[in-house]
Every structure is written in structure tokens, then in C-alpha cells.
Structure 1
Amino acid sequence: MTPSVSPPGPHPAPSGRPDGSRALPRVVIVGAGFAGYQTARHLSRSLRGRAEIVLLNPTDYFLYLPLLPQVTAGVLEPRRITVSLPGTLRHVRLVLGQADHVDLDGRAVHYTDPEGTEGTLTYDRLVLAVGSVSKLLPIPGVAENATGFRGLPEALYLRDHITRQIELASAAGNPAECTSRCTFVVVGAGYTGTELAAHGKMFTDALVRKQPAWPAGVKPRWMLLDVADRVLPGLDESLSRTADEVLRGRGVDVRTKTSVKESKPDGVLLDDGEFVETRSLIWCVGVRPDPFVSELGLPVERGRLVVTPQLGVPGHPDVFACGDAAAVPDLTRPGEFTPMTAQHAARQGKVAARNVAASLGLGEEVPYKHNDLGFAVDLGGVKAAANPMGVKLSGAVAGAVTRGYHLAAMPGNRVRVAADWLLDAALPRQAVQLGLLRSWQVPLDTASPELARIPAGPGGDHGTRGGGNSKE
């Protein structure tokens, strides 16, 4: 099925028989993040032609999110962290589109393709793995002035924006404007915010060294804010302490027990009363389940779809859910749900694949149970903090372990990523603006961070399911 050439209006997916029935059962997977990708990958291996596997996703790639800060900092080229879905899932049919509605009684997923054409996919088994989006807080001005960090469009926009601010700061007519432009405020000291601040400070320092007219005595300023009492609050204290030392040693202004009270185009007001002049507010507070899940009319737990330990949706034996969109019981911590991490999502995808296959008569279903294997935080250069299997590491050893882990976890592009790391260690980074995206194309309040907003055409705006801002 090729949605872009289908006639306007709803149309059913093609089937294997002239009368409309299907020769094989169809498994539809919605979303190709860590959970959806692994579900598709393992299903294609286990079913081996016994069922038709269809993957519905807005893009034709799987995004390896943990390396997104390195794209913004110019360490990696953007295609390095994208893995082709058609190229790596050989027995899975990709349908480009964004799910709009699920008809549970009619066993159909209604979607819109990139050109605005509506389509329908009927299913025998459905796996919901739609992931998560940026968590919003009711703080005045944040939705209008902040940039999120959940997709490739945001990373590319920030890479240009940071470069542009440094270049404009160099040409500024007064010290106050220069200082404002080279001040970057990151809210949220979890994984993403900590890594972005660490890499961002190194990136801006490198950009400044290339500016011959840079004002004396002015340095790029990065602030990392969090309401918690330490960075990486959800991780082991030793990892937090190591990350804090690296950040402060690099010159990052770490502010714990601090957040933003109001955001304005020319700066942010902190809750302690300080006003910080800046043109750059980066929102890394956390994630929330894709709002698509709450629109299904099924029981949810804090926006996550309630599922059994076998990842099935109660009352709907043909529907499964995994990843950030699912509230999966944590069998290692009775009474709790598994956290929204890539480590859990990827492993839940494997279990979902096994249980979907079991529901089709191949094998037996199993509950999801996984103990954390440790965490790794890349802090730029050779610095990192890691505790693989409980072994606490820091410095260059942690850096090597962290990068080795990422190479092992990536389902493709390993050689290209390793090559970029080697080139970054040997050569200066390229400091150019590509100018591909503007701020209005990457709104913070969006249910589709993987898509850049596009101008509304005859069929309307198909770039996001909602949201917008006016930073530029």
C-alpha cells in the first residue's frame, strides 16, 4: 500500500484476496520507537511469513534518542542516529502515517499520511507503541518561548539556533546583548537535560574560539535548572555526584531546587526572583505519554494505557501495548509500574512480539520482568558517568563503556557513528547554520515531536496533531 498515491478520502488497506478477506492474519504496530521497533523486528523473525506485519509510523526511520544531544552539539550528523525501517525490517510493511483513531470494535486504525490523505488499516492483532512527548507545566510563556528536545527536528533547529546566537553575540553592539545571546537555559536535569548542557557548553566554547572578534571577558553561559535537590535525581547518587562535578568543572551553572516562574522572549524569571536575560530556553523537564493513548477510551494510569504483565489490554485480547504509552506492572517492584526509559521500552517490545506470536498459536506468552542493568550518562569528550551491573565508573573508563553500550544498543549505523566520534576527536567541528527549520516548525506543545510543522495547505496542517508557538 502506498498512501501517497491513494485516492482522497478513507480507503481500506489492500488485502490478499479479491473478496477483501486476508490470506494471513495482520499485525499492526503503531509507532516505531524503541518498543515498536523491537516488536516489529522480533515478530518478523518469529512469525517468518505466518502473518502480515504492518508498521504505522510518521517517519521512515527509528530514532536512537540517547544520542540526540550529540547531534545538537555537532558531534554526530543527524542521519547517524536514524535507522532505516525498510532497510532493517525486511519482512515488515511500512505505512507512513500518523494514527488518528482506533476503532476497537471494528478492529481498524485510522490514520493520515504525510500528504494529508486519510487511510484505514484493519488488524487481527494491534500493538500500541506510540511513545511519549514533552511534559508541559502551566508556566506562563513556556509554550510560546521554549524549545523541546524529543525529536530530530528540534535537535537540528537547536544546532542552528545555538550557532546563530553565538555569531550574533560576536557582532553585538553592546556587552549586554552579547551576554544575553550567549546564555542558554536548560530546564530539567534528568538524562536529556544533563547531557545537553554538558555537550552544549563544549560546543559553544568551540564556536567562540572561531570568532576573531569575540568580546574579551565574555564567555558562553549554560544554566541547568531542576526542582530536585541534585542532578539526575532518579539515578544513583554516585552518578549524580560525578555528573555534577563534570558540569561545574566545565563551567555550567547548575541550579538545584530552582525552576522557571515565567518565560519571556528576552529572558526567564526564576522562582527565586532572579531574571536571566536569554534568547534560549530549552525544555527538558521530562516526558508524558502520547495523548493519543488517552483518547482511546480505555483505562489509563497517569496517561499510560493499563496493561497486564503480559502487555495485553484487559478486555481486548487482540490489543497489546508497550513502551512509554503503557503502564506495565513492575514485577521486580510490586505495586509499581516500570519507568518510562528506553531500556524498558526496548525489552518490552521483545516480550510484546513473543506474546503476539503466542496469541497467533506460536509459542507461549510470558510476563514482562526486567531488572535494571545500570545506566550510562555521556557528558561529552571522554567524560561520562556509568554503573553497568552496579559497578560505579567515571572519567575516561566510563566514557568508553558508555559509547560501547550505545554502539551495542543501536540496531544500525554503528560504523558511521564510530567514525564520527573518531573524526570529532581529531578535527574541529563544523560551525555552519543550515537554516532548514524555524522555531515555529518545532512547537513545544505538540503531540508529534518527530515531525516538523509544515505550512497549512489545501488539506490543512498535517505536520502535528496540535500545538504551536511564536518564538520567531
Structure 2
Amino acid sequence: MTRPRILVVGAGFAGVECVRRLERKLSPGEADITLVTPFAYQLYLPLLPQVASGVLTPQSIALSLRRSEKYRTRIIPGGAIGVDLKAKVCVIRMITDKIVNERYDYIVLTPGSVTRTFDIPGLTEHAFGMKTLAEAAYIRDHVISQLDLADASQDPAERAARLQFVVVGGGYAGTETAACLQRLTHAAVKRYPRLDPGLIKWHLIDIAPRLMPELGEKLGRSAQEVLRRRGIEVSLGVSIEKAGPEEVTFTDGRVIPTRTLIWTAGVVASPLIATLGAETVKGRLAVTPEMCLPGSDGVFALGDAAAVPDLAKGDGAVCPPTAQHAMRQGRRAADNIIAALRNQPMQPYVHKDLGLVVDLGGKDAVSKPLGVELHGLPAQVVARGYHWGALRTNVAKTRVMTNWLLNAVAGDDFVRTGFQARKPAKLKDFEFTDAYLTPEQVREHVEQTLPRPA
């Protein structure tokens, strides 16, 4: 008999934790494990704003999946673009652009999420995202290049426009991005004696009435006060009406001359979920507390792409798309797959949220560990301690701690790497959301490519 084939889609927190658990608990003869991912690393997303601001190097938060020789999981370098649940086939676009079929007995869907966009004129053509390692590195280059270009310009209007920056999204990603990049420009402008530091203006806007409502009113106000004290203009109840190459129009009528629009207004489940034709909850795949897809044998879904019931909260709540839930869901899903292989009962996923941390750079942070509200240096210690402890490998922990210490002692160097040299790349160029198939295309492809029975 052939060994059962376990296919894990996605190398985020949920997918990697699932694979590692399977490797530790299954003997080599029990199952074959395969991981589908376009990049052979796990990205520690919560620290992405610190890469954009240069506090951390990109490789410090990209945890290689090929470092250890003892792992036996086969890695397929590509992205899943469709799943035929009936035929038990995953359609994969390799990084060579070749499309292949991968059969499975058990599939774990952890494709994560993509940036949520709206039908706003010019948004995808002119905005930057903050969801991938490439985007973070690119934004750092772009922001520093605006200082260089402003310094070189003889036009006062162009100079002022290049020194205005707009971040849309008052959640964790947007708030931390605005806070970290503002610190970068504030420090860098001191090295440009021809530039007036007063020209640098950061705008953080969000359609919601409060900044980071998950933190509660008191901590949200505290974070907002930190940003305003630094000179970041926070506008709530406001969004983008349209975006152009040289200006952004807000819904309150203001027109901001700028060359930098960073869009962090939430995420939606990967387009892969739409290829299944299954029931969803606000775009996320509806699953049982055991993270199984109802009516489909051997299909598990978790992380950002699945609406996993939050049994600790009850009242029909689903788990938020955070790293702490994704990691624990990955381990529980692995245990449930092993239980299914061994004809044992599965266990539901239950986890009580440990709290929230928001690193605003320097000594500024707000945190709510286990319901205790902190701000300032104590919150920063908790925030960085949590992130450091959550990093999966000792190599990553060493790199991140070294980066933090070096930045604290020596400051930043404001170096551009040259990514932003010629061809501009915006939000639409990084996430490849047009690569997925429709459910009908998936079925047609599988029927045409699978061998017919004799």
C-alpha cells in the first residue's frame, strides 16, 4: 500500500507549525508530507514594519525552511491556484509558470490572506502594500528616495509633495508602519541640510471612529497621542476617494500632494478559497471546531483563510487572523490529521487570546497582555519580548536581537539598496491575485490532465 499523502498549502504561521508537528509525531513510514509555497521561508509578518524602517534586515524575519537536514517534507516551489475537492487534486502553478496537479489524501489549506482593496480609482495603480517581504524592502527604498529626490529638486511644490506620506489603515499594520517610517524620516532628514524638517508630514487615516479598537478606548487613545506627539496627523472616519501619481484625495475633500500612498486597510482570505466553491464566512472558509471542511473528506482549513470557531469566546465568534491563533491552529490540525490516520477521535481547537502588542518604535509601545493595559517602555519590553519568543528558530532570534541592539547603539544608516531604481512597482505588482482559477477552470483543467481510467 502507498503511504497517505498529506499536502500543506502555504508556509505561514499555520502551515509551518502544522508541518513541523507532523514531522515530529509521524514516523517516516506513516505518511508523505508535502508543502506548497512559492518561497522556502516562513515570514514573521508582525515585524515587517521594522524591516521597512531598516531596524531589522529582511533575512532576520525570513525563517528558512531548508536550513535543517533532518526535515523530510518535500517543498514544491509554487503557488496553489485551485483545488478540486472531488478528485482530491490541488492545481499548482510552479515558479517556472508550469501548471501541475498534486494528488492528496489529506490537504491542509493555509494560504493566508492578501491585501483587501476596494473599487477606488487609482488605488492598485498608485498605492504600495505592506504584506510581503519584497514590499517592505521596496517601501524603505522608496521613502529614502523621496528624501534624495526632494533634496535634488529645485521646485518647492515638488519638494513638499515628496515629503508628504499617507498611510491608510488604523489597524496594527498601518499604525506600526506609520510610526516606524516616521521615525526613519525624522532621523534621516537630519542628514539633508538643504531640507526643512518641517516639510515632512505623515498622515494616518482610517474609516473607523477609533484607532485599533481591539486595544480598547484607553490604549487606543494612548497610541494616538504618541503618534500625534511625533507629528503624525491622525484622521479617523476618513478614507481615500481616489489616488493619482502625484496626489491623493480624501473622502472629506482634502487633496494631499504626495508620491507615497501606503495601503494597509485590512486583509481578505486568499483567492484560492474561492476556487473551492464551498461555504464562506466573510470570505473565509467555514470549518468545524476541528478545522475540517464539512462534507469534504480529508480537508482541513485554518489561519487567515478559515473562519475557525472561537470556542473560548463563544456566541458564534470566529478566531481573529492573528499569529498566535494561526500557530496553535497549525499544531491542533496536525494532531487531528494524525488522529484521523490512526482512527482516533479529533479534538476541537480552543485557545484563549493572550492579548495584543503594538510596537511604535523606540521606547514607544502599547500592549495588553492577558488584559493588563501597558504603555511606554514596559509595553515595549512586553511587545519585543513576545515577538522575540515567538520566532521559531534560534538563528532568527539571534539575528533579530543583534539587529535591535545594533540599531539602538548605532542608529540607522539610511541606505538605499537600489530596488526603486527604474521601474515602479505598486500594490498590484506584488500579490499576483490574478493568477487563480475559477472553480469551473479547476474542474476543466483536472478533467483534461488526469489520466482516464482504463
Of the three residues 26, 30, 35, the one matched with 2:5 is: 26
Residues 142 and 420 in structure 2, CA contact (< 8 A), matched pair in contact too: no
- 1:284 Cα deviation after fit: 0.5
Question: Which string of whole-angstrom CA distances, capped at 9 and with x for unpartnered residues, describes residues 364-400 of structure 1?
Answer: 4111111111100000012111011111111111111
Q: 1 or 2, which has the higher helix percentage?
A: 2
Q: Give me the whole-angstrom Cα distance separating, in 1, the residues matched to 2:46 and 2:71.
A: 25
TM-score computed with the length of structure 2 as normaliser: 0.91
Give, as a single letter, the amino acid of the residue that structure 1 aligns with 2:175.
T
Q: Which amino acid counterpart does residue 406 of structure 2 have in structure 1?
A: L
State the Cα RMSD in Å. Answer: 1.8
Q: Specify the alignment match of 1:250 in structure 2.
A: 230
CA contact (8 A) 1:320 1:352 kept: yes
1:94 and 2:75 matched: yes
Residues 57-77 of structure 1: per-residue CA shift (max 9 Å, x gap) = 110100000000000101010
Equivalent runs, 1:117-266 vs 2, <5 Å = 117-214=98-195, 216=196, 218-266=198-246
**Match for 2:274 among 294, 309, 333?**
294
Farther off after superposition, 135-144 or 278-287: 135-144
Distance 1:217 1:404, change over 3 A: closer
Determine the C-alpha separation between the residues in 1 that align with 2:423 and 2:301.
32
1:42 aligns with 2:21: yes
- Equivalent position amino acid for 2:363 in 1: V
**Contact kept in structure 2, 1:171 and 1:213, CA below 8 Å:** no
SS of residue matched to 1:218: helix
Other-structure match for 1:337: 318
User: For the structure 1 residues 318 and 439, does the alpha-carbon distance in structure 2 shift closer, same or farther, using more than 3 Å as the test?
Assistant: farther
Q: Per-residue displacement from partner, 1:80-139 (whole Å, max 9, x unpaired)? A: 000011225813221111112212222221212111222222111100000000001111
**Residue matched to 2:96:** 115
In structure 2, C-alpha distance between the alignment counterparts of 1:376 and 1:36, rounded to whole Å: 23
SS, match of residue 338 in structure 2: helix
Q: Quote how far apart the aligned CAs of 1:219 are.
A: 3.3
* Contact 1:78/1:152 (8 A) holds in 2: yes
Contact 1:153 1:437 in 2 (8 A): no
Distance across 1 between alignment mates of 2:282 and 2:422: 30
2:291 matches 1:308: no
Contact 1:179-1:218 at 8 Å conserved across structures? no
Q: Is the 8 A contact 1:156 1:437 kept in 2?
A: no
Equivalent residue letter for 1:35: A
Change over 3 Å in CA distance of 1:439–1:155 after alignment to 2? farther
SS in 2 for 1:398: helix
* 8 Å CA contact retained: 1:291, 1:303: no
Amino acid at match of 2:207: V
Relative to structure 1, the CA distance from residue 177 to residue 441 in structure 2 (aligned partners, 3 Å threshold; closer, same or farther) is: closer
What is the number of equivalent residue pairs in this alignment? 431
**Structure 2 stretches of 5 or more lacking a match?**
437-454
TM superposition shift of 1:259: 1.1
Query: Do the aligned partners of 1:124 and 1:318 also contact (CA within 8 Å) in 2?
Result: yes
The equivalent position to 1:359 in structure 2, one of 340, 348, 354, is: 340
Q: How far is 1:440 from its partner?
A: 6.5
> In the alignment, does 2:370 pair up with 1:389?
yes
TM-score (norm 1): 0.88
Rate the CA distance shift 1:438–1:284 in 2: closer, same or farther, 3 A.
farther
Aligned partner of 1:11 in structure 2 is none
Task: Provide closer, same or farther for how the CA distance between residues 83 and 340 of structure 1 changes in structure 2, counting only shifts above 3 A.
Answer: same
Given that 1:153 and 1:442 are in contact with CA atoms closer than 8 Å, whether structure 2 keeps it comes out as: no
Deviation string for 1:126-169 (max 9, x for gaps)?
A: 00000000001111111111111110111111011001001111
Change (3 A) 1:35 1:206: same
Counterpart selection for 2:427 from 444, 456, 462: 444
Distance 1:36 1:287 in 2: 18
SS state of the match for residue 109, structure 1?
A: strand
CA distance in 2 between counterparts of 1:119 and 1:87 reads 26
Matched, 1:408 2:378: no
1:124 aligned partner, one-letter code: D
Residue aligned with 2:154, SS: coil
Which residue among 391, 401, 411 is the counterpart of 1:418?
401
- Is 1:276 the equivalent of 2:259? no
Query: What does residue 414 of structure 2 align with?
Result: 431
SS state of the match for residue 114, structure 2? strand
Q: Does 1:77 align with 2:47?
A: no
Q: Does the CA-based 8 Å contact 2:180-2:360 persist in structure 1? A: yes
